[in-house]
Amino acid sequence: MNKIITCIDGSAITSAVTEAGKWAAKKLNKPLCFLHIIERSQQHGADDYTGAIGLGAQSALLEEMTRLDEQKSKLALTLGNDLLDSVAEDAATYGIETVETMQRHGDIVEELMALEQLTRLIVIGRKGAGHAHEFKALGSHIETLLRKATQPIFIVPEAFSPPKSFMIAYDGRESADRTLQKVLDGGLLHGIDCHLVAVKNNEVMLKEKFDTAKNKLIERGLNVIPALLEGNINEQLTRYQQEQNIELIVMGAFGHSRLRQFFVGSNTLKMLENTQVPLIIMR
C-alpha cells in the first residue's frame, strides 16, 4: 500500500488533479502512479445498432460502423498514452523520484479496486469532462468509489495549490476517530495548521471526545485551532471553512446507515456538493 494513484482523463480538471497527486507523492515520499482509464463508452460507440440487422440493414453499413468504433478505440488509446507521457515528464521535473503510468480499459472503480493492495492514496477529480460547467455535478463514479474504497480518497476541484490549513470535520463517532488516527499516522497533513471542528449533535460525551481528539493532535506536534459549533452540520462546517479560508477538508465517509441516508441525506455527499476546496475522505 504505497502508491499515490492519480486518476487523469484529459478533461479540464486534469491539471489540478495532477498537481494534487504530485504534492501528495512529494509530501509522503511515495511512488506516483498516473492512471488513465478508457471507459466502455470510449471504446465503443454510444449507440448500439445491432438490432438493425433484423430490419434489413446492409451488412456493409454495419461493417463500416464497426470499423469506426475500432478507430475510435485506437484514438482513445493513443491520446491516453500521450497524456500519460506528458504528466509523467512533468512529475519527474517536479522532483518525484518514482513515477509510473498505467492505461486500462474498463470501469474506473473496478480498476481502482484491483489496485487497492498497492494504493496509499487515491487522487481523483470531483467531476469529469461531461460536467465541465456544473459546479455541483459529481462524477458518476464518486459515490460508488467512496463506498467501496478502503484507502483515503483525495477529491480535487477545478484548481489546486498546496494547502496551508486543513479542517477535520469531527462528530465523535467511530468513523471520525478512525479518520483522526489516520491523520495522526499518515504524515500528509503534518506541518499544516489544523482546524478541529465539531457541530453539536446527539453523540454522547461529544465535548469530552472532542477534547481528547484535540489533545492527541497537539501531542503529535500539530498546530490545532479547535471550534465546537452549534446548528445545521453542513451549513456550519461550510460557513466555518469559508470564514477561516481553510484550503482542505478531511472527513469520514458515510457516518449513517444506507436507510438513514435515504431519508436525511449523507453529510459526506452534501459537503462534496457544496464545498469548493479539496476533500480527503477516509473510511
**Residue range 10-38, pLDDT digits in tens:** 888 999 999 999 999 999 999 999 999 98
Count of CB atoms within 10 A of residue 255's CB? 20
What is the per-residue pLDDT for 133?
Answer: 46
Q: List every span in the chain annotated with CATH 3.40.50.620.
A: 3-42+75-156, 165-282
Q: Which CATH number fits domain 165-282: 3.40.50.620, 3.40.50.150, 3.30.465.10, 3.10.129.10?
A: 3.40.50.620
To which residue does cell 466555518 refer? Answer: 240
Cα separation, 12 vs 57, in Å, equals 40
- Which residues, other chains included, contact 176 with Cβ-Cβ below 8 Å and sequence gap of 6+? 169, 170, 213, 251, 252, 255
Q: Which residues of the chain have pLDDT under 50?
A: 42-46, 55, 130-137, 256-265
Superfamily of domain 3-42+75-156: HUPs (3.40.50.620)
Which cell is 194 given? Answer: 489544523
Q: Residues 37, 122: contact at Cβ < 8 Å?
A: no
Please report, for residues 158, 164, 166, 225, 281, the alpha-carbon distance to residue 161 in angstroms, rounded to integers and kept in the order given: 11, 9, 13, 22, 18
What is the per-residue pLDDT for 135?
Answer: 42
Please report, for residues 42, 65, 122, 140, 165, the alpha-carbon distance to residue 48 in angstroms, rounded to integers and kept in the order given: 13, 10, 33, 22, 49
